[in-house]
Amino acid sequence: MAASRCTRVRLWRWRRSPLRRRSDLIEAWVVLAGWVLVLVGSLFAGLAAAAAVEQDAERQRRESRPIPGVLVEAAEDRAPPRGTSDYRVWATVRWTGADGSTRTDEARVSIRARVGSTVTVWTDGSGRIMPEPLTEGEARLHAISGGVLAAAGAGGMVWCAVWAVRLGLERRRMAQWAAEWERIDTRWGWKTG
């Protein structure tokens, strides 16, 4: 038995036809608007997120200062029983702030650091310890990955909204078809199911 072939009519929702319903045309416009919003919205969301990440990394680089500190306690005492992946642990460090006062706090130091050894501590403008700022390469990588994630999230949200609208239109179309079949069946005096 030979398979039947039917010609595929492209863009049929945009053409005038007695079979085209109003919901078909609405669906075509919704899909078109969805694609435009996905493309444009994703681009803007990605660029905005990447710019925000780059600005934050630049702000951290501007505000942080490396200050030499002295390790107060042995870092190896803080080492977990199992080996760590980055070989850095939290240990107590003492340093002299910009105002001349001596401060003590915990900072991430190498596990091999000994008591009394000099370690670099990164502080903000008020003298609080902060993480080491991102390098140019790390900031670029964070900006790219943040931009890609924001673009994917924005595009995904728009496309989910388009899908929900199309689903509602499909349900409405099926209800209209059921009502029309009911009207035709009762006119002819029989029921289809």
d(CA 46, CA 172): 35
Average the pLDDT over 174-181 and give the result.
Answer: 86
The pair of structure tokens assigned to 74 is 């042995």
The region that residue 100 occupies, defined by phi over 0 for left and psi between -120 and 50 for alpha, beta otherwise, is left
Residue-averaged pLDDT of the chain: 84
* pLDDT on residue 152: 96
Instruction: List the domain boundaries for the chain.
Output: 22-59+138-185, 65-132
pLDDT at residue 15 tops 60 = yes
CB 110 within 8 A of CB 93: no
pLDDT tens for each residue of 108-146: 888 777 888 888 888 887 878 888 889 999 999 999 999
Which candidate, 59, 92, 65, places its Cα nearest to that of 78? 92
